[in-house]
Chain A
Amino acid sequence: MRLLITTLTILINFILQTTVFQYIEFWGVRPNASIILIVSFAILRYDGEGAIIGFFTGLLQDIIFGNVIGIHAFLGMVIGYFCGKPFKDFYAENYLLPLLLVFISTAFYEFAYYIIVFFFRGRLEFFFYLRRIILPSVIYTSLFSIPTYRFFYGINKRLERKEKPKRKLF
């Protein structure tokens, strides 16, 4: 059940991101919904599952649109793994930690992507890319994560409620 719902969420997220989200472009960037998904599930389900979800979310993006398979998958996995570390004094209902983690993750993702794909091809004007892509993307994605995290939290809560009676049997 959980496997099915998670797979569906990743697929639907990707489809929305490549079709509908192009209409909500702002400051020349689109919100990176994949990162919000990875961070949300990592926070709610801890690092092991976070890494796996991040890996497959990135892999899907690599397969459909990537030049090289592996870049998004790797970055997604790293984000999922480190955002899933148990944080002290954290309640899943809290809004601040997801916001902060999405902020850091998006900054890391965009920066790493710039280094891997652009810097090594001789596009050295880092501050231009920082101003025009990295910063707007980080801010927009963070703002976008506030309603979206709530949504993923709801999905996870329902799944956990369904799983509870099953656990008692064993």
Chain B
Amino acid sequence: MDFINKHKRLTFLILTIFCIVVAIITLNYRRPTFIENFMGYIVSPSQEVTGNIGGFFQTRINFISNLSELDSENQRLREENELLQLEANRAALLDKDNQELRNLLELVQRYPELNLVGADVIARDSSNWSNKFSINLGTRDGVFDNQVILANGGLVGRVFRAYSNFSQVITLIDDNSSVSAISARTGDTGFVRGDLRLAERGLVRMENIALNADILENDLIITSNLGLIYPPGITIGIVREVRPDGSGLFKYAIIETAVDFRNLETVLVVSDVFDREFID
């Protein structure tokens, strides 16, 4: 401490240079070093405990304030459950049929079966500028960079960086995220990009849609098979609005995501990596 207080300017300069150099080194890609893994071992278990305590009180408060709605919601869910049960049986039959026909025609599986692993959200990025969170699985549990994260039957995002005992997840609504998407009804393609201006309301923007594409409100948007990271056929959300963009060459759509990003507590990690050889 005495050295620092004696050479304030020097310390300031050295640390500034250090920051710039490290920023340049880590700009594109970095593998976690032992320092980061070490910090992870200290920070993430405590985050898990603290987060659980916070979540415990949050659940209790929500439970009390929602007490009156529980009965009607229960009734509604029962009815929905019966319907879904019927549909699931039908879907299973269709799936079997489909499989058999595919085998006859020797077609490749277009929508691969996904192996899922459950994970808890342990912490959220404290910065107001990004929408990231961390989950309690890391490389030692078989979670790697660019694995896909799902919740409530919709796309959440992908693992941005996997550390030894936790992983950073970048969500769909983060300003840096980008997903290649397709409209389920018409097959029009575009890129779904996060935008901080829309993130608060749980919306994303689908860009680069051809002007003559007939995307309409309430169309379902799913991931396309063009991207290298995301498997095809995962629900992204529903179109809320379509507008021509500034250039006059494309139009863009505002999409309401299928996932409620505010109240995420558990997520599913897809434990396969797609086309991994193209990523590295």
Interface size range of chain B in the complex: 35 or more
Contact A20 B12 (CB under 8 A): no
Give the contacting residue for B196; candidates A51, A63, A123; CB below 8 A: A123
Q: Check A34 against B126 for contact (C-beta < 8 Å).
A: yes
In the assembled complex, the Cα of A121 lies from the Cα of B176 at a distance in Å of 10
List B residues 197-212 near A (Cβ within 8 Å): 197, 200
Residues of A contacting B36 in the complex (Cβ-Cβ under 8 angstroms): 63
- For A70, give its contact among B19, B51, B200 (CB under 8 Å): B19
A81 to B129, CA, bound (A): 24
CB-contact partner of A74 in B5, B19, B53, B54, under 8 A: B19
Which of A88-96, A97-105, A125-133, A150-158 forms part of the interface with chain B? Answer: A125-133
In the complex, per-residue mask of B79-105: 1 if CB is within 8 Å of any chain A CB, else 0: 000000000000000000000000000
A113 with B1: in contact, given A70-B19, A132-B197 (CB under 8 Å)?
A: no
- Return the chain B residue nearest A3 by Cβ: B1
Chain A residues in 8 Å Cβ range of B196: 118, 123, 129, 133
A67, B176: Cβ atoms closer than 8 Å: yes
Cβ–Cβ contact B12 & A77, under 8 A: yes
CA gap between A118 and B51 in the complex, in Å: 29
Kindly state the separation between the CA atoms of A12 and B30 in the bound complex, as whole angstroms.
27
Instruction: Decide yes or no whether A29 CB sits under 8 A from chain B.
Output: yes
A 31-57 binary contact with B (CB < 8 Å = 1; else 0): 011100000000000111101100100
| Complex contact A18–B15 (CB within 8 A) | no
Segment at the interface with A among B41-49, B217-225, B270-278: B41-49
* A61 CA / B123 CA spacing, docked (Å): 12
A-B residue pairs in contact (CB < 8 Å), sample of 23: A15-B43, A16-B50, A18-B123, A18-B126, A21-B126, A22-B54, A23-B54, A32-B126, A32-B128, A33-B126, A48-B4, A48-B5, A49-B4, A52-B11, A60-B43, A61-B127, A64-B43, A65-B168, A74-B15, A113-B129, A123-B196, A132-B200, A133-B128
Q: A residues engaging B (CB < 8 A)?
A: 11, 14-23, 28-30, 32-34, 46-49, 51-52, 55, 60-61, 63-65, 67-71, 73-74, 77, 81, 110, 113-114, 117-118, 121, 123, 125, 128-129, 132-133, 137
